[in-house]
Amino acid sequence: MDDKLLQLYFEGRTTNEQSRLITEWLDANEANMKYYQQLCRLYDINFWYEVPEVITKPFQKKIKRKHIWQKAIEIAAIFILGFALHYCIRLSFVDTEEDIAMQTIYVPPGQNAQLTLADGSQVWLNAGSTLNFPTRFTKGKRKVSLNGEGFFEVKANKDKPFIVSTPNYDIKALGTSFNVRAYRQSKDFETALLTGKVEITDYATNQVFSLAPDNQAILTNNKLSVVPIQHIDYFLWRKGILYFDEPLIEVLKKLELYFDMNIQINNKFVVQNKQHSTAKFRTRDGLYHILDVLQLTHHFSYKKDEEKNLIIIN
């Protein structure tokens, strides 16, 4: 396999056909996978633990790591619990007044990522998500910015609250585990608390909402409401498992976000919320595999227009 082609693959710049050829090459034998892993290690940088003394110019690096068990998007069985750490990291260092490096991780469609912040807090990022964070936390607080979905396991530090900033809300925690879904391109917002305590601040009204464990705040009709967490399996997305138990139209909206594909719904039964979907998929099975299964159980058909990045549900 040409190293230049693998370089494009790391950077996420291969065509669908090139990606398919590389995936088949990886699956062909163990030697190919070992060679690929050696190249991956060249890009494997634990940058969130390092603080450069002086940063003179902004620069960017792009990194992409593929899990050893990755298969082609539309291959492999469904409903098998497994895990896949697939991610592409885009890293940017930017000067600040205190010479602290700000970093950005972007997770491409159909993948997920995990990282450890400078304070030891763990973060998982879902597909299509972007996280901005510093190499170290100062000024009495720990603040990161999220566009997308993230699961946070925050290290306790009463002197430095941990703040997740999203397009419309701030979520503050001291030591806790919680999930935030706040894609900028979507009107939806959710924060689910598993352990500890969080406070949610609404930018528009300056209202503050507190959450207790096993509850979640959901944006409904432009207002936050607090309800119990319905399904703990939903958070399996951290392991590459997509779990749905909701109207089919909501499932399709999430698939749009997770796979960066426009979905046009022409089926009136779907639009009218007359179909409910309960299902579990592996993210790596791919969007079309998921739609193939859903259409069998919900009796719809779909067409795809890859040039327009569009799927039409009939």
Contacts of 52 (CB under 8 A, 6+ apart): 93, 99, 101, 135
* Domain boundaries, given as residue ranges, for the chain: 1-42, 46-234, 241-313
d(CA 129, CA 182): 9
Reported confidence tier of residue 77, pLDDT bands at 50, 70, 90: very low
Task: Give the pLDDT score at 40.
Answer: 57
Distances, alpha carbon 164 to alpha carbons 22, 144, 192, 244, 302, in Å: 37, 5, 13, 25, 38
Task: Give the pLDDT score at 91.
Answer: 40
d(CA 278, CA 296): 13
More confident residue, 265 or 71: 265
pLDDT over threshold 50, residue 128: yes
Task: Give the pLDDT score at 191.
Answer: 96
What is the fold, at CATH topology level, of the domain defined by 46-234? Jelly Rolls (2.60.120)
Decide if domain 241-313 falls under CATH 3.55.50.30. Answer: yes
Reported confidence tier of residue 58, pLDDT bands at 50, 70, 90: very low
Contact (CB, 8 A) for 126 and 149: yes
Mean pLDDT of the chain: 78
Summarised one tens digit per residue, pLDDT across range 190-239 is: 999 999 999 999 888 888 989 999 999 999 888 888 999 988 999 999 99
Residue among 14, 67, 7 nearest 39 (CA): 7
Summarised one tens digit per residue, pLDDT across range 139-189 is: 788 999 999 999 999 999 888 999 999 989 999 998 899 999 999 988 889
pTM: 0.68
d(CA 173, CA 161): 6
